[in-house]
Amino acid sequence: MGNKYSYYNLVEKGVIELQVEEEEEKKLFEQLQVSVIVKEIKGLAMCLSRFKPTDWNKFLDVVIK
């Protein structure tokens, strides 16, 4: 990945479940196994929301702002 911002965008699209439209992005998405990373992020988010709801709420406040 030549550009960290492009990688960030691919992960972001995976997290919010947007369709990857361009062929080049699709190839990178599969090659970099972004779906595996997204699965881990969602699992960590679920654990945080269950076991430390106060921290989860603080995190969401920061994200929303």
**Residue 31 amino acid letter:** Q
Q: What is the pLDDT along the chain (65 residues), one digit of tens a residue?
A: 567 788 888 888 888 888 888 888 888 888 888 889 889 988 988 999 999 999 988 888 887 77
Distance separating alpha carbons of residues 34 and 11, to the nearest angstrom: 6
Q: What is the largest CA-CA distance in the chain?
A: 41
Which two three-digit tokens encode residue 25? 């992005």
pLDDT at residue 21, as a whole number: 83
Domain residue spans of the chain? 4-64
Burial class (CB in 10 A: 0-12, 13-18, 19+), 18: exposed
pLDDT at residue 53, as a whole number: 92
Spatial contact of 41 and 15, defined as CB atoms under 8 Å apart:
yes
pLDDT at residue 52, as a whole number: 93
